[in-house]
Amino acid sequence: MTLPPNVYDAEPIPESARTEIERLLQTGDLFRYTAPENAPVSLLEKEFAAFMGVKYALAVSSCSAALFLSLKALGLPRGARVLIPAFTFAAVPSSIVHADCEPVLAEVGENYRLDIEDFATRLDDNIDAVIISHMRGHTSDMDAIMALCQARNIPVIEDAAHSLGTRWHGHKIGTIGDVGCFSFQSYKLLNSGEGGVMITNDPDIVARAVIMSGAYEHNWKKHQCQTDADAQALAEAFGRWQNQLPLYNLRLNNLSAAIVRPQLDEIARRVRDGRRNHDYVADKLNQSPWINVPEKLDPEERAPDSIQFNLVGMNEDEVRAFEGAAAKRGVKVQIFGLSTDNARAFWNWQFLDHIPDLPQTRDMLMKACDARLPARLQLPELDLIAEALIRAAQDVMGNLRATA
Ligand SMILES: *Cc1c(COP(=O)(O)O)cnc(C)c1O
């Protein structure tokens, strides 16, 4: 039997990164503020902002750092309440706790996206900010979310860690809210091992975040902009915030930037192949009576590197048996709510003061499966994965029930 492929390895870093890395190793110029200008981190920020079509980008040590700095840059008071979807990675509520704010969780539907009705109910006068986590690249209804938040003047941060290349009505995800945050961790579309970036068009938000990220004294002068007008607005904002803010030192280093920069040219291909791979496997899985891959929302163009699907008509024992049967066939799936200590199951966020009861999100997590599906996989490899999953469901539920 041909075994399904390894889905954990990342793509090799483009060969063109090597010259710059060698230069940095030779000179030891690893700190972003050593060189008088054009440090790799500054160039990455300028290129990333241009790619996203926004005025400002700040590269930092992780997406979690970007989320934390975004909250701090909004100037939220201690104890501010930040509304988030209950289906997200533990780093998101953690960034809120770290910013001395309080996470409030909203229900998520069977399609992994925010339940807008529940979100609207919780978006009351006690909510000071919203983080929309596009978990696993699934975009929630940004039209409804922005309308609700703008009506109440509530700032929106997009956690787009896993959504680089995704579009909503043609607009890039991460550019719809007030701030967008992305990750360069190895499981994300751009990989430098660790790293992140935040984008915004607001000069005061970015100036505050730049200073707090560790641009002490006048290091902010080394940040680059798209236009002279943007640079002017930014310089004025730095004038307002000089010496006013604490330094958290969450900078990115030049080596990481040198690893990311040549990957910007790979984004279009990775998005295209990731979407092809996802949709190919989704079509096959949806032919099984035991598996359902939820539809994307209409305005959404996705950029997936993994697949999520719900098991249909299985009880908890059968769901567990499916996980085992798939593993036996060489495909590792995680059921978010069943794998021990899963960081995406909200009841495991025991660092929170209060873990709410969210039955709808819990039900989803107890039958939603997660499997990696990197862009580099080829169709025959996808066939092996899809076949293993379909057969694993048959192993558990039997062909008889399938045709009954
Ligand atoms: C990976 C991820 C994060 C955290 O990113 P780091 O760079 O590891 O801090 C946050 N949110 C989502 C949705 C993610 O996928």
Distance, in Å, from the CA atom of 64 to the CA atom of 41, rounded to the nearest integer, reads 18
- Cβ partners under 8 Å of residue 394, min gap 6: 288, 290, 402
Structural domain boundaries enclosing 201: 17-265
Quick check: CB of 133 below 6 Å from ligand 1?
Answer: yes
- Cβ partners under 8 Å of residue 35, min gap 6: 29, 222
210 HSE (CA, 13 A, CB side): 33
Residue 349 backbone dihedrals phi, psi, to 5 degrees = -85, 65
Instruction: Confirm if 86 and 105 have CB atoms less than 8 A apart.
Output: yes
Residues 142 and 157 in one domain: yes
Hey, which of 58, 64, 163 would you mutate to test ligand 1's pocket, going by the most ligand atoms within 8 Å of its Cβ? Answer: 64
Residues 36 and 97 in one domain: yes
Quick check: CB of 64 below 6 Å from ligand 1?
Answer: yes
Atom index in ligand 1 nearest the CA of residue 184 equals: 7
Which of 202, 234, 265 terminates a domain? The answer is 265
Question: What pLDDT sits at residue 400?
Answer: 52
Residues 232 and 282 in one domain: no
Residue 105: strand, helix, or coil = strand
Quick check: CB of 189 below 6 Å from ligand 1?
Answer: no
Residues 211 and 281 in one domain: no
Distance, in Å, from the CA atom of 359 to the CA atom of 314, rounded to the nearest integer, reads 18
| Residue 162 alpha carbon to ligand 1 centre in Å | 7
What is the residue type of 310? N
Instruction: Confirm if 160 and 199 have CB atoms less than 8 A apart.
Output: no
Whether 153 is in a domain gets the answer yes
Cα–Cα distances in angstroms (integers) from residue 333 to residues 221, 338, 346, in the given order: 47, 11, 19
CB atoms within 10 A of CB 366: 16
Question: What pLDDT sits at residue 339?
Answer: 86
Residue 130: strand, helix, or coil = strand
Number of structural domains (the chain) is 2
Distance, in Å, from the CA atom of 131 to the CA atom of 63, rounded to the nearest integer, reads 13
Question: What pLDDT sits at residue 24?
Answer: 97
The residue whose CA is least distant from atom 5 of ligand 1 is 63
Which of 265, 285, 307 terminates a domain? The answer is 265
Whether 81 is in a domain gets the answer yes
Residues 378 and 337 in one domain: yes
Distance, in Å, from the CA atom of 14 to the CA atom of 264, rounded to the nearest integer, reads 10
Residues 260 and 326 in one domain: no
CB atoms within 10 A of CB 379: 11
The pTM for the full model equals: 0.97
Question: What pLDDT sits at residue 404?
Answer: 46
Instruction: Confirm if 152 and 106 have CB atoms less than 8 A apart.
Output: no
| Residue 212 alpha carbon to ligand 1 centre in Å | 20
Residues 54 and 173 in one domain: yes
Residue 186: give its domain's CATH number. Answer: 3.40.640.10
Distance, in Å, from the CA atom of 181 to the CA atom of 190, rounded to the nearest integer, reads 13
Which of 211, 238, 265 terminates a domain? The answer is 265
Instruction: Confirm if 291 and 393 have CB atoms less than 8 A apart.
Output: yes
Whether 12 is in a domain gets the answer no
Question: What pLDDT sits at residue 246?
Answer: 98
Whether 139 is in a domain gets the answer yes
Instruction: Give the mean pLDDT per block of 10 residues along the chain (404 residues).
Output: 81 94 97 97 98 98 98 97 98 98 98 98 97 98 98 98 98 98 96 98 98 97 95 97 98 98 97 98 98 98 98 96 96 94 96 96 98 95 97 88 50
Residues 363 and 226 in one domain: no
Residues 169 and 247 in one domain: yes
